C-alpha cells in the first residue's frame, strides 16, 4: 500500500473515450469482479454532454503474465442510464446514473448506484448473462461474429 504514495507505483492507461455516449469522459466505477481464472468484469461510466448525462457500461479484462491486464471485450452500448422518473435530477439538467458497488450473490450481480447525486438505487442482473453479452464485443466495441463450426 505504501507504493501508492511513492514513485514506485505504476499506472497504465486502460481505456479512453470511444463511443458517442462517452465522448466527453469515462472512468472506472468499482473494483473488478472475477469472472474466471484470469478474467475480470469492470464497470465504468461515460458522459457525452450535460443533456445526455452519465451512463454505465462494462468491459472484460484478461490477465497477462508479468504485466497489466488488457481489455479483451468492451460493450459499445451504454447498458445502464437514468430512465426512471425518480432517477432524474430535480435541481440541475444532467441525468446521472453512477454505480458505486457490485457483488455477486448466487446467479445475480447486485449493484448499488447513485441517481443524480440525490438518491440511491439498487439493481440486479444475471451475472452470467451480462458476461456473455459483453463477450459479444471485441476490445474495440465491435460485435464479434461467431462462426458455427458446422457451417464451413
Alpha-carbon gap, residue 141 to 74, rounded angstroms: 5
DSSP H or E run through 45: strand 39-47
Helix runs in 41-140, H state only? 127-134
- Within-domain flag for 142: no
Cα distances (angstroms) measured from residue 133 to each of 20, 36, 58, 62, 81: 20, 16, 10, 16, 17
- Within-domain flag for 150: no
Question: pLDDT at position 8, please?
Answer: 83
- Within-domain flag for 140: no
Domain containing residue 62: 17-134
Label residue 28 left, alpha or beta by phi (over 0 means left) and psi (-120 to 50 means alpha): beta
Any idea what the CATH number is for the domain that residue 29 is in?
2.115.10.20
Question: pLDDT at position 152, please?
Answer: 45
Q: What are phi and psi of 86, to 5 degrees?
A: -70, -15
- Within-domain flag for 4: no
- Within-domain flag for 36: yes
pTM score: 0.87
Question: pLDDT at position 78, please?
Answer: 93
Question: pLDDT at position 51, please?
Answer: 86
- Within-domain flag for 96: yes
Alpha-carbon gap, residue 40 to 62, rounded angstroms: 7
- Within-domain flag for 8: no
- Domain count along the chain: 1
Count CB neighbours of 130 within 10 A: 17
- Within-domain flag for 139: no
How many DSSP H helices and E strands does the chain contain? 1, 8
**What pLDDT tens digit does each residue of the chain (152 aa) get?**
677 778 888 888 889 999 999 999 999 999 999 999 999 999 999 999 988 889 999 999 999 998 889 999 999 999 999 999 999 988 888 899 989 999 999 999 999 999 988 999 999 999 999 999 999 999 999 999 765 545 44
Q: What are phi and psi of 22, to 5 degrees?
A: -130, 25
Grid cell of 35 as nine digits: 469472472
Amino acid at each position: 500500500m505504501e507504493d501508492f504514495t511513492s514513485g514506485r507505483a505504476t499506472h497504465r492507461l486502460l481505456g479512453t473515450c470511444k463511443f458517442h455516449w462517452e465522448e466527453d469522459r469515462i472512468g472506472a466505477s468499482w473494483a473488478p469482479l472475477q469472472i474466471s481464472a484470469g478474467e475480470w468484469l469492470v464497470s465504468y461510466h461515460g458522459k457525452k454532454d450535460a443533456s445526455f448525462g452519465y451512463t454505465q457500461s462494462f468491459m472484460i479484462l484478461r490477465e497477462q503474465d508479468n504485466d497489466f491486464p488488457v481489455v479483451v471485450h468492451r460493450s459499445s452500448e451504454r447498458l445502464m442510464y437514468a430512465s426512471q422518473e425518480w432517477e432524474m435530477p430535480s435541481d440541475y439538467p444532467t441525468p446521472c446514473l453512477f454505480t458505486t458497488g457490485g457483488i455477486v450473490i448466487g446467479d445475480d450481480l447486485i449493484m448499488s448506484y447513485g441517481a443524480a447525486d440525490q438518491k440511491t438505487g439498487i439493481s440486479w442482473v444475471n451475472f452470467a448473462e451480462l458476461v456473455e453479452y459483453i463477450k459479444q464485443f471485441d476490445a474495440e466495441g465491435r460485435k464479434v461474429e461467431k462462426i458455427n463450426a458446422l457451417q464451413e
